Chain A
Amino acid sequence: MTTTAVAPAAPRIRQPKPPRLRSKLRDVAVMTGRNIVHIRREPLQLSDVTIQPALFTLLFVYILGAGVVLPGGGTYVDFAIAGLLAMNLVTSSMGTAVGLSTDLNTGVIDRFRTTPMWRPAVLVGRSVTDLLTSVVCAAIVTITALAIGWRPDAGIGAVIGGFALFLLFAYALSWGCGCLGLVSKGPESAQGVGLVILFPAAIVSNAFVPTQRMPTVMRVFANWNPISIVTDACRQLWGNPNPSAAIQTWPMQHALVASLLWSAALLAVFAPLAVHLFRRRTTN
């Protein structure tokens, strides 16, 4: 009996098909998985959501706490933890800017762009990765806080609600940082510009000190600052000391709704803008 070599079938031309939700989710999962491998290979990348938050929590509580007297009473540690969570999550959302900028400066984006993948998956995957690192960051702050005596005075639902509020805000903000990464030349400049914007924004807020005795300009800014609003909402939910409750502005009186509105607004503006900037940056 003779065997005849059968020529393999010629590769067929594939017809286009509209991307389905399932394949979009798969692409997001693949991109997220890739980012996580990066973090596992270089765990020091994570220092700004691990070592730094623990250090900041201890420093701020013991140094600032020694001098700050809260109007309306309460311990500084109970007051400060929501603020520390705000600052650490806000600065860690910079990871999106740095990560995207790094990707854009390597050839790997070209490889992605020649596959039939859903292109925004590059962005969504990045933001999901940063949500995961935000969870790590929040956990570190919480563990450190519990160790030095922070206690929420609320039900488990409200406590979880507080964390959810912060994570949502950090996620929305990471899209803004994503835009920054997409317009900056490289990861270093993305990091630099991001810090210059976000660090003062976190400081000029009710995160570490009550706003009541700030100079007028600073006070007005701090009282309308979304970081103050989210922190205010969280302190209410956790039953922690909250001097901002006495401030008669609409967002401070309706902090929960206002912080949800802020997160929604950030997402509504920056997510489409990021997709647009990504398209523009990767087409020439």
Chain B
Amino acid sequence: MDDAEIETMVREAAPQTTPPVGLAAHRSRILADARRRGRGRFAAWLGGLAAFTVIVGGGSAAIASGGLATPWGWVADNAFSFQRADGSVCFQGMRIELDGILEDADAAREAQTILSGIDIDSLDITAAEAWARELASSRGASEDAIHQLAVQRTVSKLLFAELTARGIDTPDDGQSIGMYSELAGCE
């Protein structure tokens, strides 16, 4: 059996496909959806900036190199915002917190790279939402609070799982790597 015969056999073993009718129309709708989402995220982000600017009395918010300068006076490694049920915006800034580790240490840089690289919009927070809902059930927390908590938990779990995967364990001799965050408009 020569190469051409093998190639014919492999081609003939392929599953036979039937395309749906009107794929172009579906594609247009999906991309329109993508465009709407992009605008929604941008609007929510602007809303978040407006909300916490008011709260802190004129603190500036601008994208700094390597992070987001927050009105709390520190640069966030990552941040997210979402519109709450009452139309207001909840914003959360997060940064790597070091204890006993120099800022320019490899472990610190790795941690910041991991946290800033997390695409919060595409996280699957289903499991964390179930956890947060159970935690909040006796406290009467809102769906917004559950969502915020679920995102925070998912981000921190990803961060620490990735640190462990990279062989960066928080040492026990007084050094530690943590995640610090502040909220605005979430209460």
Specify whether A and B are partners.
no
Instruction: Using CB atoms and an 8 Å cutoff, list the residues of chain B in contact with chain A.
Output: none
Instruction: Using CB atoms and an 8 Å cutoff, list the residues of chain A in contact with chain B.
Output: none
